[in-house]
Structure 1
Amino acid sequence: MNVMQSYTESTDLVMDGTALAERLARDGYLFIRGLVPTDAVENVGHQFLDVVAQGGWLDPDHPKRSRIANRNIVCADPEPEFLQVFRRFYLSEDSHALKHHPNIVGLFERIFDEEVLVHPLFVARNIFPQKEKLTTRPHQDFVHIQGTAETFTVWLPLHDCPREMGGLAVAEGSHRQGVHDFTVASGAGGLEVTAPFDGQWRFGDFAVGDALIFHSMMVHKGMDNKTKKIRHSIDARYQRVSEPISEVSMANYSGCGDWEEIYGNWKTDDLKYYWRKQNPDVQPYDFQYYDRRDDIAFKMAEDGNDTARAALLRIVQRDPRAEKRARATDLLDRLEA
């Protein structure tokens, strides 16, 4: 049995930018307890709960803050019924403000020793319990976000997250070998890295306010949520302002509205289009990795393999090329026939 080791904690290094940078270069991740104040995180977490409660995703026979899931409803990104509810969370001004918290930005200022670019795009996660098929498979963020490889994700659960609720595991040192081979999978991202990384996985419990920070090439995966509760978290990303960013990271999350819609009911203008003052070097998106994923998904779907469904939905919703969308739509119809 392959028992996962616990994260190496870096809380004691939080004010030492040089030491943090050295550990990131060595391990590919940092685990820092209490990085963000509890009240700031819980405020956003409660707003997320309000959204999913209105969508019927919580069990009406339990208090909302118990987080107990409605067992009659299970859906996942990028299914339309999921996004219909999920997109409401992105209208929250506080959810966008959280990624700008001075404790996070200040940490990266010390690590980078220069101005920080907070990615406009952030990702919220809603993980239903006891649905292992929907658990996020091992993958690398770089394949999806591109830009500079020296981009770092902050994974922040919006509530206490003990091991039995899942959370995130990282394969220590896996960021040093570039892009790993992958295949198509169900769950977030629609793909998974094929190497097992035995002996390299690190995992642990989170209290609200704890943060896991990792390199864009770090292989990481969701862990099965074995409780009865929905798990909520956000992924926010950071890089040096002097390095390139992909156009995909300049937009809001796909299917969840454009910036004018997002900003519609905000009370302040402070964070609206904040990146324009920094004049980032925005580069076109390179579809080479998605083209590889899509070729695999098309073949799987033609063979009747439903595992291709998540990748096909992503093509239909997000690929700018009409011929690809048409082929994916046809194959989805065949799978659902």
Structure 2
Amino acid sequence: MSFTIQQPVDATQETDGANRTDYVKLKSTGGPIHESIGSLRSFSKDTPIEDLREAYKKDGYIWVKGLLPVEDVLKCRESYFTYLSDTGLLKNGTSPRDGIYCGADWRMWIGPGKLRRKFGQVQDTAYTRKMIAAHSASWYQEFCDHPDMKNFIERFSGWSNASLLRRSLLRPNIPGGEITQVHYDQIFLRAGPPTSLTTWVPIGDCPMEGGGLLYLENSVSLGQRLEQHFKAAAADLTDEERISAFNKTMMDTGYLEKDAGKFSKLWGRRWLAADYKAGDVVIHNPYMIHCSALNEHPDGVIRLATDLRYFETGTPHDTRWEKVWTVSICI
């Protein structure tokens, strides 16, 4: 194991987050994240809006505790793992709501695409089909349209009407498996201006060891600078190539780096981590640099989360994100 637990994970709610980051060892795809972890700053949903706006402007994110009803979040989690329960993903005899991993080779549970092919896994399986189809399921679409989320976004942003981009990624992060590498969201939304707000929603409790999102401290301006660099480098490409996250100026995955520790050292910034609880939401700027840690939950809990993106109705945005995510599976 690459982390050290000095108390049960269940006790994290009683622990000061700053103290937790002093000894919790996290890991990215590229290796350990050494001595570069700080604590994400949290807010109550009842914090005055002006205070939240000021924090968002300064930090590039706000972590809002208990924004969504816990039971609504856990029902979505239970629905997801019930839907996938006949694929072999879960440990026998465990509750779908708990989402306990079966313990098999994590490469079997990669989503369809390049990485799955890289590891020699069959693309078309019961798991990959259901993983894709879950995005269109009524229980997930109802969760995406949760009125508490929409109402808060409108109150926070000052928009009279917030619209949801229907494309989202419902991500199960398997213990020990591949994770979300270093990036900022605008890389993938280049066909429109940076007008969106991303809400990252953990669907269930997610302690630091469970592979929650890490945010690079004070990184909005860095993300803007990097995007200007990529834009200049892509000047001779076609319009279609320029808006692609996968053009030749980028890594083949669209990400910035797989080694989060290396990236933070290069730019002299800490990664900010948190013990997330069901009902929490993090709202972040489209240029805020982030990634996830490797899921090394000692109880084998699968981290489930989604990204919901909002824009002010009627304003320019990346229209490619208006449709629910799907992918063609090639055997």
TM-score, structure 1 normalization: 0.68
SS in 2 for 1:31: strand
With a CA cutoff of 8 Å and minimum separation of 6, indicate the structure with the bigger relative contact order. Answer: 2
* Aligned partners of 2:75 and 2:97 also within 8 Å: no
When the two chains are superposed, the root-mean-square deviation of aligned CA atoms in Å is 2.5
**In structure 1, which of residues 163, 167, 171 is the aligned counterpart of residue 212 of structure 2?**
167
What letter is aligned with 1:231? Answer: R
CA distance, structure 2, for counterparts of residue 101 and residue 206 of structure 1: 19
Q: Between the two proteins, what is the percent identity of the paired residues? A: 21
Structure 1 residue runs without a partner (length 5+): 256-316, 319-328
Instruction: Tell me the equivalent position of 1:68.
Output: 100
Query: 1:162 Cα shift?
Result: 1.0
Instruction: Tell me the equivalent position of 2:321.
Output: 249
Alignment of 1:4 onto 2:37:
yes
Query: 1:4 Cα shift?
Result: 1.1
Query: 1:203 Cα shift?
Result: 0.8
**In structure 2, which of residues 171, 183, 198 is the aligned counterpart of residue 125 of structure 1?**
171
Large movers: runs of 4+ above 6 Å? none
Instruction: Tell me the equivalent position of 1:201.
Output: 271
Q: Structure 1 66/18 Cα, relative in aligned 2: closer, same or farther at 3 Å?
A: closer
Q: Which has the higher helix share?
A: 1
Query: 1:154 Cα shift?
Result: 1.0
Query: 1:111 Cα shift?
Result: 2.2
**In structure 1, which of residues 88, 108, 114 is the aligned counterpart of residue 153 of structure 2?**
108
Q: 1:232-243 to 2 correspondence within 5 Å? A: 232-243=304-315
* Aligned partners of 1:16 and 1:110 also within 8 Å: no
CA distance, structure 2, for counterparts of residue 244 and residue 172 of structure 1: 28
Q: 1:202-281 to 2 correspondence within 5 Å? A: 202-227=272-297, 228-255=300-327
CA distance, structure 1, for counterparts of residue 200 and residue 313 of structure 2: 20
What letter is aligned with 2:111? Answer: D
Query: 1:176 Cα shift?
Result: 2.0
SS in 1 for 2:58: helix
Q: Structure 1 55/88 Cα, relative in aligned 2: closer, same or farther at 3 Å?
A: farther
CA distance, structure 2, for counterparts of residue 21 and residue 174 of structure 1: 17
Q: Would you say how many aligned residue pairs link Structure 1 and Structure 2?
A: 253
Instruction: Tell me the equivalent position of 1:145.
Output: 189
Query: 1:77 Cα shift?
Result: 2.2
Q: Structure 1 179/92 Cα, relative in aligned 2: closer, same or farther at 3 Å?
A: farther
CA distance, structure 1, for counterparts of residue 326 and residue 189 of structure 2: 13
* Aligned partners of 2:184 and 2:290 also within 8 Å: yes
Instruction: Tell me the equivalent position of 1:29.
Output: 61
Query: 1:167 Cα shift?
Result: 0.6
Once the two structures are superposed, residues 254-306 of structure 1 have per-residue CA deviations (whole angstroms, 9 ceiling, x without a partner) of 32xxxxxxxxxxxxxxxxxxxxxxxxxxxxxxxxxxxxxxxxxxxxxxxxxxx
What letter is aligned with 2:48? Answer: D
Query: 1:49 Cα shift?
Result: 0.8
* Aligned partners of 1:15 and 1:110 also within 8 Å: no
* Aligned partners of 1:143 and 1:179 also within 8 Å: no
CA distance, structure 2, for counterparts of residue 224 and residue 230 of structure 1: 11
CA distance, structure 2, for counterparts of residue 207 and residue 88 of structure 1: 26
Query: 1:201 Cα shift?
Result: 1.5
Query: 1:17 Cα shift?
Result: 2.9
Q: Structure 1 93/62 Cα, relative in aligned 2: closer, same or farther at 3 Å?
A: closer
What letter is aligned with 2:287? Answer: M
CA distance, structure 2, for counterparts of residue 239 and residue 16 of structure 1: 22
SS in 2 for 1:191: coil
Once the two structures are superposed, residues 59-106 of structure 1 have per-residue CA deviations (whole angstroms, 9 ceiling, x without a partner) of 225444442212225322234345312023123212112222222112
* Aligned partners of 1:18 and 1:110 also within 8 Å: no
